[in-house]
Structure 1
């Protein structure tokens, strides 16, 4: 077995979560991640936890959603009961075919997402220690337009690093954003958007809920977003790739939108519920070991020299106690390239230009 798989498993059970004696552990993972599944069961056993593995996704997931009567869907109480008894949840992504649900009607996918919302709320609660990670698999490598071996190296370069050093580096941005009131993001000719983040904490995300990690994120005040954004990189939703998405905000709400490809998919997402037309997250990628776009948001949103904005649900820990939280069953991240012709301003002061931060060598301001 590749020794990097063993190290990956150790990071998951020791840093991203804290598996301890007596913990009930659910591993949500498919057969494509068999090596990591085996390593995780071993590590969990050494620490006295009790693991079970469940699968969701792939052909069976497609078959179910194509067969369902969306009007008759009910909340999966049996899954909720399982998660109530779960201390640690480890979700491993590894795809044989990343486009497996590409021929499923968007309305059916959205209906399924809506009945799963209570499950998502449970996962974000304090009682379950949760991590999402990636095992290199051929389907993901193909989507990234890389060889399987090349993609494997890419995944482990992004995952197996000095997370303590990365945390300290990112802390410098947290210290800028935490007391801030307003952020402005400008890139190219079509992105110029401002938003209030006053009273919302900046979260230093390093190998905790996601692996790989390497971002600082916060939540905009839902009705404060003004301006336009052209997202440079495509986003995959339900097996369909939306390219060139463009959003125009007024009083926090998307009042106009377009996309160069699969605009109907974007329209369907925005129409899911009221919160889907507002921003729930502003994130700044800071993991420079992720140096290329791979059509995998678990990696892409952490990429250095990028900003991502998510329409839909805000993440609980990024919303101040007395501030409004954007609610939605949707949370869709989309990426802006900040490597050139771009800057970020915080309360009128430029803190990043062409991807370089004010606290890094080469910043000119």
Structure 2
């Protein structure tokens, strides 16, 4: 990234995504690969009158942990991370991995870690729901992410800059325009209660009584560009096919079909990776949907194997199994929140209270202007 890009990205993250105010504390979690961006974030935090603390991952630490760590050590929650999630005002997680192909830890170690993190995950969702904890998840372009997306580092950097609008003269203004356009959609969705996603391999309905559709305008994730809600937990019925690859713990699952009745997923099938589905659906809370959403970011023009970007692809919908969003009124709890994506560009439709509001990957003109 150029110095201009780094400065613009940092300014957007600090002053728009988490809107840091004087005296507020920001915790950044990343790796040493993102040090150039972290330096610019420090500059912006000081200008805003705030305070920065951070954690930097070092290459090889994960491998050492997998080789020598026991269950008690995997269950340890880092002190500063716990303090930040429970008490800080802002949190930015900058993904900048060294390697995306490391083998996972043993099942018992992962289970110990997951169980230990469950209370922290719950606190995270509760505090981000009402923005007591302002948060943003983003990436720093690095070789591992570029390779995963099958791009050169230069191509991937340009892809990230385009998706985040950092390539535009005023990124904050560009995201405010996204907010304006999506608000018209959200206002209409919140006036309806019954929704139906239909394409040639899917037909699923759900309801949203007492729930809220959220305008995701870049203040929780960067990039953003989606509208989402948490369906009523017992309302989903039908079946849905996810044609985009679904990735969990570094394992890829292809061609997922889920069948659901009265909110409970009772049958699941994958063209490949069935064992990952089987393992996941043994985890409490995963047999109900925690999210239903529509991707609206048409500048994300390709699949990158990174859900932060892929779930926002314009012309797609996604549903997540597991943890609901409290800010949307969701009540399902789980240590898992796994998004799966379906293409809607070829004949896909969304009905709201029986009326078509979306076709072939776009909301109707009356809602999107």
Q: Tell me if both proteins adopt one fold, taking TM over 0.5 as the criterion.
A: yes
1:158 to 158, 163, 172: 163
**1:106/1:265 contact within 8 Å kept:** no
Indicate the residue corresponding to 1:91 in structure 2: 93
Identify the range of structure 1 (127-136 vs 64-73) with the bigger mean alpha-carbon deviation: 64-73
Indicate the residue corresponding to 2:243 in structure 1: 232
Indicate the residue corresponding to 1:303 in structure 2: 313
The CA deviation string for residues 205-233 of structure 1, in whole angstroms up to 9 with x for no partner, is 10101011110001111111111111111
What's the secondary structure of 1:284's corresponding residue?
strand
Q: What are the equivalent positions in structure 2 for 1:168-187 lying under 5 Å apart? A: 168-187=180-199
Distance 2:243 2:270 in 1: 11
**2:30/2:57 contact within 8 Å kept:** yes
2:144 to 139, 143, 154: 139
Q: TM-score, normalised by structure 1?
A: 0.91
Distance 1:54 1:300 in 2: 26
Aligned-residue Cα RMSD (Å) equals 2.2
Distance 2:199 2:67 in 1: 40
**1:343/1:354 contact within 8 Å kept:** yes
Q: Does 1:148 align with 2:128?
A: no
Q: What are the equivalent positions in structure 2 for 1:64-103 lying under 5 Å apart? A: 64-65=65-66, 67-70=68-71, 74=75, 76=77, 78=79, 79-100=81-102, 102-103=103-104
Distance 1:164 1:362 in 2: 15
Question: Residues 82, 287 of structure 1: CA spacing in aligned structure 2 closer, same or farther, 3 A cutoff?
Answer: closer
Q: CA deviation at 1:295?
A: 0.5
Question: Residues 262, 109 of structure 1: CA spacing in aligned structure 2 closer, same or farther, 3 A cutoff?
Answer: farther
The CA deviation string for residues 38-88 of structure 1, in whole angstroms up to 9 with x for no partner, is 111111122222212203586423542554444786462724234444222
Indicate the residue corresponding to 1:333 in structure 2: 339
The CA deviation string for residues 26-48 of structure 1, in whole angstroms up to 9 with x for no partner, is 11011111221111111112222
Q: Does 1:278 align with 2:288?
A: yes
Q: CA deviation at 1:98?
A: 1.7
Q: Does 1:356 align with 2:362?
A: yes
What's the secondary structure of 1:22's corresponding residue?
coil
**1:107/1:268 contact within 8 Å kept:** no
The CA deviation string for residues 92-124 of structure 1, in whole angstroms up to 9 with x for no partner, is 011221222x34345543442231122222323
What's the secondary structure of 2:276's corresponding residue?
helix
Question: Residues 17, 263 of structure 1: CA spacing in aligned structure 2 closer, same or farther, 3 A cutoff?
Answer: same
Indicate the residue corresponding to 1:269 in structure 2: 280
What's the secondary structure of 1:211's corresponding residue?
coil
Question: Residues 119, 48 of structure 1: CA spacing in aligned structure 2 closer, same or farther, 3 A cutoff?
Answer: same
Indicate the residue corresponding to 2:179 in structure 1: 167
Distance 1:77 1:144 in 2: 31
What's the secondary structure of 2:286's corresponding residue?
helix
Distance 1:310 1:111 in 2: 23
Question: Residues 112, 340 of structure 1: CA spacing in aligned structure 2 closer, same or farther, 3 A cutoff?
Answer: same
Q: Report the count of equivalent residues.
A: 356
Q: Does 1:193 align with 2:204?
A: yes
1:291 to 301, 325, 345: 301
Distance 2:204 2:265 in 1: 12
Question: Residues 71, 198 of structure 1: CA spacing in aligned structure 2 closer, same or farther, 3 A cutoff?
Answer: same
Q: TM-score, normalised by structure 2?
A: 0.90
Q: CA deviation at 1:326?
A: 0.9
Question: Residues 177, 269 of structure 1: CA spacing in aligned structure 2 closer, same or farther, 3 A cutoff?
Answer: same
1:243 to 235, 238, 254: 254
